[in-house]
Chain A
């Protein structure tokens, strides 16, 4: 429609002759006008903070100075981060946290979706119950889990001791070896309903006639799943996994409330470490450099996310 309008205007000779990109912009000027307010808002709330963070990442911010008195240090903050043992430890924690949480949340959510896709008595109730962890406040959930795990009088420990399975309560969150897996369990518990909902929506798009045809052709349950259902879910699976991965890279509430990144940095992930550096230790410059690195990783994931969405659209158009 806009092209036609543009051509009409051009034919009237009401506008100067324009070529290339400028001409296209002029032709689509109404479209740009419509999206301008959104672009302005995005520039203020997204682009400027990104620019400021990148700029800040080149400065040192000692505790005795105000932020405005920051000292230019070039790439020193990046060098300090990349040569720091803590950074690599935190990066390993972040990767462990993200990969394990994403993979297990997805697997559990997918399994739950498959189970709930079948028609059985009480399916609605089960679905509602399984969604509870996702709708409950993350802060409240973190405090509850902290008490469940408590190393001296947690519920799990009390039950295990009471049943004479263990002599003393297990140490979940006060040990460098068990703290991260313990937090990942909480994260999976909270996230799997999201994967479940996404996959349940995906399952409803699998054509019934294909499944019936496969059954008629003698395909067993596994073959129907693997050759019919699963291919239909590949795009929704990709999107779900990417969304989970981005959310997990950005996780903060559960590790911060339950352990504050401890003990001995064993449960620090990137976001909690950035928060501690910025707000606990006022290393704004280092925290900004950290954030820039995280931004690059998340943008890469975002690129794949957009590609996955575009792939979906292309397929839909092709269909």
Chain B
């Protein structure tokens, strides 16, 4: 018996040692490439340009560069609200991939954020999906839960899980299995027009500290200058709406569930909590009581707010650093006296942290996109060329391209992107980028549930519209939305 126990112990020890050695040599215990605990604009600047990467060499370890194959891709790409530089970067990416893998035929199709999910779902029903799909962060869990996606983790394409934001990895994980790799992660910032603030008697260099102040300042701006104060967005079926309302909801201490906590369980619906109602009330006060936001907020998306802001008709809004470049692109299209007016607005653009709630809580949507490989049975033609698909994903999620494809609108999904020389260039050339990167630690991912797209794109905007149009009171709208979420989670409701 004793000798058996001793033998077993030796065996266990040997196995454990071998496992540890193996694990240490792989990326399982690899440290994140950046120290997330030190995250600040200064830290981001200090690490930029400290490491070189060779994308082709890295990806050749995943798929040889002379590999011959074919891959089809649908991706959530640039849209009308993006600046021209991002369009160019996408063109450069596809050219670089084709040059690096000349024998892989890449058939790519770019779709806008609001169109992609509908088209992708429909294609899946007809087994006509692409081999690879780059989806908004909201979509991954739904398709993983339905069994459409192949397990795929960063290690499968040459990287480590630690190379990516932990919050982003949650969004590609369903029931403990990883189904994709984050391509980019974004947090937005608060933008205001200092000239409008000055003329309204507000401190032009200071953003409202709290959401209550946003409501107050929006009214002051509207009452004094006759222009809209805050760029509220409440359109249904548009990603812009949850990206702007959820930070407000979380800041007031509310939520759809407990997604704003460190370890969410998504069990209790909190849309009708007093805190959630307070956030909805703030929007109601701006839209109905004060009439200090655009009337068109119910049909607008952020792309509609941009020209309003450039025309000096809007005082504040939430958006990406890319909006500064979008304004410059729009400026080129102005003529006559409009050009000077637009230039004044651009000169007076200011970026700051998104305001806090009454208790000092600051939040922003931890957004972005992920890239996935579909199971062959759902793909047009019934086959997936795995080496070609992995080559594409390795290329896209590389430090170089995850950074370049996020250039002004977002941040690299691969944290190594922050170390590259291109990050340094980006910081030097993209005004206000440091503000949005500073918001990253405040980022809260959408609930990692298959029901999230409906909750965020339909139920939450519906709640806003019901309250803002007077179809329901704030209390009724919150209760109605909470009931819809409960019904949805229970598998019922219309």
Quick check: B451 and A64 within 8 Å, CB to CB? yes
Q: CB < 8 Å: which of A152, A169, A262 contacts B236? A: A262
Given the contacts A176-B470, A262-B465, A281-B454, A80 and B494 also touching, CB distance less than 8 Å = yes
Quick check: B121 and A279 within 8 Å, CB to CB? yes
- Determine if A94 is an interface residue (Cβ-Cβ < 8 Å): no
Would you give the 0/1 interface string for A161-172, flagging 1 where the beta carbon is closer than 8 Å to chain B? 000000001010
Quick check: B488 and A286 within 8 Å, CB to CB? no
- Determine if A303 is an interface residue (Cβ-Cβ < 8 Å): no
Quick check: A174 and B297 within 8 Å, CB to CB? yes
Q: How far is the CA of A90 from the CA of B291 in the complex (A)?
A: 28
Query: Which of B6-14, B71-79, B141-149 contacts the other chain?
Result: B141-149
Would you give the 0/1 interface string for B180-217, flagging 1 where the beta carbon is closer than 8 Å to chain A? 00000000000000000000000000000000000000
Given the contacts A65-B146, A66-B146, A263 and B494 also touching, CB distance less than 8 Å = no
Residues of chain B within 8 A of A266, CB atoms compared: 469, 471
Given the contacts A64-B451, A262-B236, A174 and B298 also touching, CB distance less than 8 Å = yes
Total number of residue pairs linking A and B with CB closer than 8 Å: 101
Q: CB < 8 Å: which of B237, B308, B494 contacts A152? A: B308
Would you give the 0/1 interface string for A56-79, flagging 1 where the beta carbon is closer than 8 Å to chain B? 000010111111000000000000
Quick check: A152 and B296 within 8 Å, CB to CB? yes
- Determine if B178 is an interface residue (Cβ-Cβ < 8 Å): no
Within 8 A of B (CB), among A241-283: 258-266, 276-277, 279-283
Q: How far is the CA of A176 from the CA of B470 in the complex (A)?
A: 8
Interface size class of A (residues with CB under 8 A): 35 or more
Q: CB < 8 Å: which of B118, B145, B451, B472 contacts A280? A: B118
Quick check: B471 and A280 within 8 Å, CB to CB? no
- Determine if A190 is an interface residue (Cβ-Cβ < 8 Å): no
* Most B CB within 10 A of own CB, among A64, A169, A277: A64
Query: Which of A81-89, A97-105, A193-201, A305-313 contacts the other chain?
Result: A81-89
Within 8 A of A (CB), among B452-470: 453-454, 457-458, 461-462, 465-466, 468-470
Q: Which residue of B lies closest to A85 (CB)?
A: B494
Given the contacts A87-B494, A263-B465, A280 and B454 also touching, CB distance less than 8 Å = yes
Q: B432 to nearest A CB, angstroms? A: 26
Q: A291 to nearest B CB, angstroms? A: 14
Given the contacts A63-B142, A63-B450, A66-B146, A174 and B295 also touching, CB distance less than 8 Å = yes
Residues of chain A within 8 A of B494, CB atoms compared: 80-81, 84, 86-87, 277, 283, 286
Quick check: A67 and B145 within 8 Å, CB to CB? no
Quick check: A151 and B237 within 8 Å, CB to CB? no
Q: How far is the CA of A174 from the CA of B465 in the complex (A)?
A: 9
- Determine if B336 is an interface residue (Cβ-Cβ < 8 Å): no
Q: A272 to nearest B CB, angstroms? A: 11
Residues of chain B within 8 A of A67, CB atoms compared: 125
- Determine if B122 is an interface residue (Cβ-Cβ < 8 Å): yes
Given the contacts A63-B454, A64-B451, A279-B118, A151 and B295 also touching, CB distance less than 8 Å = yes
Residues of chain A within 8 A of B308, CB atoms compared: 152-153
Q: CB < 8 Å: which of B237, B451, B469, B493 contacts A263? A: B469
Q: B179 to nearest A CB, angstroms? A: 14
- Determine if B17 is an interface residue (Cβ-Cβ < 8 Å): no
Given the contacts A63-B451, A80-B494, A174-B295, A263 and B457 also touching, CB distance less than 8 Å = no
* Most B CB within 10 A of own CB, among A60, A66, A80, A84: A66
- Determine if B491 is an interface residue (Cβ-Cβ < 8 Å): yes
Quick check: A280 and B469 within 8 Å, CB to CB? no
- Determine if B173 is an interface residue (Cβ-Cβ < 8 Å): no
- Determine if A53 is an interface residue (Cβ-Cβ < 8 Å): no
Quick check: B237 and A280 within 8 Å, CB to CB? yes
Given the contacts A63-B142, A66-B148, A280-B454, A263 and B295 also touching, CB distance less than 8 Å = no
Q: A26 to nearest B CB, angstroms? A: 41
Q: How far is the CA of A153 from the CA of B307 in the complex (A)?
A: 10
Would you give the 0/1 interface string for A146-162, flagging 1 where the beta carbon is closer than 8 Å to chain B? 10001111000000000
Residues of chain B within 8 A of A152, CB atoms compared: 228, 294-296, 308, 313
Q: How far is the CA of A258 from the CA of B431 in the complex (A)?
A: 35
Quick check: B296 and A176 within 8 Å, CB to CB? no
- Determine if A173 is an interface residue (Cβ-Cβ < 8 Å): yes
Within 8 A of B (CB), among A23-77: 60, 62-67
- Determine if B372 is an interface residue (Cβ-Cβ < 8 Å): no
Given the contacts A81-B494, A152-B308, A66 and B147 also touching, CB distance less than 8 Å = yes
Residues of chain B within 8 A of A276, CB atoms compared: 237, 458
Q: How far is the CA of A150 from the CA of B311 in the complex (A)?
A: 16
- Determine if B473 is an interface residue (Cβ-Cβ < 8 Å): no
- Determine if B134 is an interface residue (Cβ-Cβ < 8 Å): no
Q: Which residue of B lies closest to A89 (CB)?
A: B471
Q: How far is the CA of A263 from the CA of B472 in the complex (A)?
A: 12
- Determine if B425 is an interface residue (Cβ-Cβ < 8 Å): no
Q: B446 to nearest A CB, angstroms? A: 14
Quick check: B294 and A64 within 8 Å, CB to CB? no
- Determine if B299 is an interface residue (Cβ-Cβ < 8 Å): yes
Within 8 A of A (CB), among B286-336: 294-299, 308, 311, 313
Q: How far is the CA of A139 from the CA of B135 in the complex (A)?
A: 26
Residues of chain A within 8 A of B457, CB atoms compared: 280
- Determine if B235 is an interface residue (Cβ-Cβ < 8 Å): yes
Q: CB < 8 Å: which of A62, A173, A280 contacts B299? A: A173
Quick check: B466 and A264 within 8 Å, CB to CB? yes
Q: A153 to nearest B CB, angstroms? A: 7
Q: Which residue of B lies closest to A60 (CB)?
A: B491
Q: B74 to nearest A CB, angstroms? A: 16
Within 8 A of A (CB), among B405-461: 450-451, 453-454, 457-458, 461
Residues of chain A within 8 A of B451, CB atoms compared: 63-64
Q: CB < 8 Å: which of A151, A279, A283 contacts B296? A: A151
Given the contacts A259-B299, A261-B236, A279-B118, A62 and B469 also touching, CB distance less than 8 Å = no
Given the contacts A67-B125, A276-B458, A279-B118, A263 and B299 also touching, CB distance less than 8 Å = yes
Q: A75 to nearest B CB, angstroms? A: 14
Q: A108 to nearest B CB, angstroms? A: 27
Q: B48 to nearest A CB, angstroms? A: 40
Q: How far is the CA of A63 from the CA of B450 in the complex (A)?
A: 6
Q: B468 to nearest A CB, angstroms? A: 7
- Determine if A235 is an interface residue (Cβ-Cβ < 8 Å): no
User: 7 pairs across A/B with beta carbons < 8 Å?
Assistant: A60-B491, A63-B145, A169-B295, A174-B297, A262-B235, A262-B465, A263-B234
Which residues does B use to contact A, with CB under 8 Å? 118, 121-122, 125, 142, 145-148, 228, 234-237, 294-299, 308, 311, 313, 450-451, 453-454, 457-458, 461-462, 465-466, 468-472, 488, 491-494
Beyond known contacts A60-B491, A263-B468: 13 more, CB 8 A cutoff: A63-B454, A64-B451, A66-B147, A81-B494, A86-B494, A150-B296, A153-B311, A260-B235, A264-B472, A266-B471, A280-B118, A280-B454, A280-B458
- Pairs of residues from A and B, 6 with the lowest C-beta to C-beta distance, nearest first: A151-B295, A264-B471, A64-B450, A263-B298, A151-B296, A264-B465
